[in-house]
Amino acid sequence: MKKIILKVKLKNREAFEDKLSDNDLDFSAIYWQHDRVYVPRGYRPGNNFPRLIMRTTMYAVDEAPEYTLILRRHIEDSSIDIIEETPVADYSATASIILQLGFTPQKEVSRRRQTMDTEEGTIHLDQLDNGDAYAKVETEIKSTDSVTAIKSRLEANLVALGETDFIARPYAEL
């Protein structure tokens, strides 16, 4: 699936949430995610190399976690992310396969996340373990869509909410 993803570091998470609530938009309940990010040998940011992410998601402490393998590739010159997600039954076996394929661990990122679906796409409100808060907007695109027009519209919406600190790098590289 092809997506445009915009991320901003929030100045004030509560104020951002309040602005959306004033427009009758509310986030989901908070859930926890942990990503273990793997990169191929020779990985260099900005070279369109794929990354593999083993994601653990817990919606409630009394429920079993969900595991997902994510292949993610950011195409720099087009601002498009190609993302494929596959549910995983055996986390350890999948992590072993990733290592045997020549990928190496880059970083681990934990966050508390809330989501909201809008007509523009999905908004994720992330609170990283380091204390930083981010809003991330993901919009699926079709081959006939204008990437520039969609990206401009998403940026304008975030600027209208008072957020201008756009971040182009993934959490694992911050």
Question: What's the mean pLDDT in 9-34?
Answer: 90
Please provide the average confidence, as pLDDT, over all residues in the chain: 92
Give the per-residue pLDDT at 146: 86
Contacts 24+ apart (CB under 8 A), 26-31: 26/116, 27/114, 27/115, 27/116, 27/123, 27/125, 28/114, 28/115, 28/116, 29/59, 29/114, 30/112, 30/113, 30/114, 31/57, 31/58, 31/59, 31/60, 31/112, 31/113, 31/114
Rg (CA), the chain: 17
Q: Which residue has the higher pLDDT, 9 or 118?
A: 9
- Domain ranges across the chain: 2-173
Q: What's the pLDDT tens digit per position in 158-173?
A: 999 899 999 988 898 8
Q: Can you tell me the distance from the alpha carbon of 152 to that of 48, in angstroms, rounded to the nearest whole number?
A: 22
Total length of the chain: 174
CATH superfamily placement of domain 2-173: Hypothetical Protein Pfu-838710-001 (2.40.320.10)
Q: What's the pLDDT tens digit per position in 55-111?
A: 999 999 999 999 999 999 988 777 789 999 999 999 999 999 999 999 999 999 999
- Per-residue pLDDT at 46 exceeds 90: no
